[in-house]
Amino acid sequence: MKFLIQGVSSASVFIQDIGITRTIKKGILVYVWIHKDDIDQDRQEKIDKFVRRIEKLQIFSDKESRKSLWLRDIDWELMIISNFTLSWRNKKAWSVDFTHALSADKAKPMYDYLIQELIAKWITLQTWEFWAMMHVTSTLDGPMNLVLDW
């Protein structure tokens, strides 16, 4: 699994298939990719580990820059978007390979489990509909980008 975490001052996603927009204010936007081998490994354990890590992420400072704050301490919002393109590999010149991404029918239950676990812990969570066409708009804050990969 791979997670691209971005600190944003705002983000929105327009879900073309159902014609709705979801937004967050200041918070984090997380793109999620599920590897084809994740289905065979301890997938629930990996997701639980990510939920614990995101819940206790301490990268933001208070106004005096004296201490790191947990996301929950500062009441930031969270947006999760499934993104298989994080799996891309460039084998030759401009050829792009997505063969390491888990198929949609197998990845969706894992994505749904991730969302379920985050909803249980998070107050403001927005998600993108799995396997839908979308348009994402975000304003990076910092910019701050982190990649968790395991």
pTM of full prediction above 0.85: no
What 8-state DSSP symbol labels residue 129? P
CATH number of the domain that residue 134 is part of: 3.50.80.10
Q: Give me the tens of pLDDT residue by residue for the chain, a chain 150 residues long.
A: 788 889 899 999 998 888 899 999 888 899 988 777 776 557 788 788 888 888 777 666 666 665 566 666 667 788 998 876 666 566 665 666 666 777 778 888 888 888 888 888 776 778 777 777 889 999 998 778 888 876
Do 26 and 76 touch, CB atoms closer than 8 A? Answer: yes
- Which domain, by its residues, includes 116? 2-149
Count of CB atoms within 10 A of residue 140's CB? 14
pLDDT for position 93: 59
2: burial class by Cβ within 10 Å (0-12, 13-18, 19+)? middle
Domain count across the chain: 1
User: What φ, ψ does residue 39 adopt, rounded to 5°?
Assistant: -65, -30
